[in-house]
Structure 1
Amino acid sequence: MIDARQAVPGDAQELMRLRKVMLDGMGDEPAPSGEWERTGAAILEKQLSDPDGMLAAFVVDRPDGTGLAACVVGAVDQRLPNPRDPTGLRGYVYNVATDPKYRLRGYSRACLTALIDWYATRGVSAVDVRASPDGEPLYAAMGFRRTDEPAMRLYLPAP
């Protein structure tokens, strides 16, 4: 059995390293390093320090050394209820990432399973994820389905 544990603030740097691994795999070119990584680590350190917080990460440690082999980060969003979602609690999976050296061992599945269990204990009734082509088979195998909801995004200029 694969042991996925809940991340602690000290995992923030490794979580951001794996986030970059995920982003690198989604684009034509690697994501540039920069201030976003330090900002993300600071956010994770703060959010993971709150045991009753609305953000959680689950990780699998490298079996042959220090650091993380895989992770998932997710949050709970309180939305307004509707007939199909009476609590309005929605889970969102920010990233699922596995270090290339450790892929195809079930680590991401273990992390995602732990996150889904965490959502269930908080009364979340729906979980959203944006699936890359590589990740979609895992999500589908775990019960995620495409929705009919259209999505659009507006980027605002930086202040």
Structure 2
Amino acid sequence: MSLVRRATPEDAEELIRLRKIMLDSLKPSDDVGWQAATVRRLRTELARPDGDLAATVVDDPTTPGRLAACATGKIEYRLGSPDNPDGAIGYVFNVCTDPARRREGHSRACMRALLDWYRTRGIRKIDLTSSPEAESLYTSLGFHHMPEPAMRLLLPGTGT
């Protein structure tokens, strides 16, 4: 059984370590220049107990100060619609388990705790993007594919 807790500002560096693992699994990169600014921003966000960002984590039972897994979520506000009158929507990202701790149920435990956080905040509509390897986890939690196509524009000077 994984013991899940809410992340604190002190977990920011470990959350970014796990994020790097996740990002490298999608597109390997030696670039770590983004990490310091991201740690600072994450510490600020995690210091707000009633903020719109939360991360749930499982501590690595074999290494003090190290995280085994995490799931991060954000609440965003858009204009309402018939299926979402208040326009509040959750977005899950940064779900990762340290390679040494995989297949132990940690990501599932983090996701369940994060979904509970959304429930307490009254969020009913939650989106995420999944890798093929993680799709079975998310479908088992009730997520399904959406028919709406997604598109993105990167304005000059905003990165890739």
TM-score range, shorter chain: over 0.9
Aligned residue identity for 1:91: G
Cα offset, 1:33, TM superposition: 3.2
The equivalent residue for 1:7 is 7
Whole-angstrom CA distance in 1 between matches of 2:145 and 2:52:
24
Cα offset, 1:95, TM superposition: 1.3
Cα offset, 1:31, TM superposition: 2.3
Corresponding residue SS for 1:134: helix
**1:118 matches 2:131:** no
Cα offset, 1:32, TM superposition: 2.1
The equivalent residue for 1:76 is 75
Aligned residue identity for 1:41: V
Corresponding residue SS for 2:133: coil
The equivalent residue for 2:143 is 144
Aligned residue identity for 1:93: V
Whole-angstrom CA distance in 1 between matches of 2:98 and 2:73:
18
The equivalent residue for 2:86 is 87
Whole-angstrom CA distance in 1 between matches of 2:106 and 2:150:
30
Cα offset, 1:24, TM superposition: 1.1
Judge conservation of contact 1:87–1:125 (CA < 8 Å) in 2.
no
**5+ residue gaps, structure 2:** none
The equivalent residue for 1:34 is 32
Whole-angstrom CA distance in 2 between matches of 1:20 and 1:14:
10
Cα offset, 1:2, TM superposition: 1.6
Whole-angstrom CA distance in 1 between matches of 2:30 and 2:126:
29
Aligned residue identity for 1:16: I
Whole-angstrom CA distance in 2 between matches of 1:111 and 1:33:
27
**5+ residue gaps, structure 1:** none
Q: Write out per-residue CA displacement over residues 121-153 of structure 1, whole angstroms, 9 at most, x where no aligned residue.
A: 111111100000111110011100000111100
Q: Write out per-residue CA displacement over residues 94-113 of structure 1, whole angstroms, 9 at most, x where no aligned residue.
A: 21000000000000000000
Aligned residue identity for 2:62: D
The share of aligned pairs that are identical, in percent, is 49
* Matched residues, number: 157
The equivalent residue for 1:128 is 127
The equivalent residue for 1:57 is 55
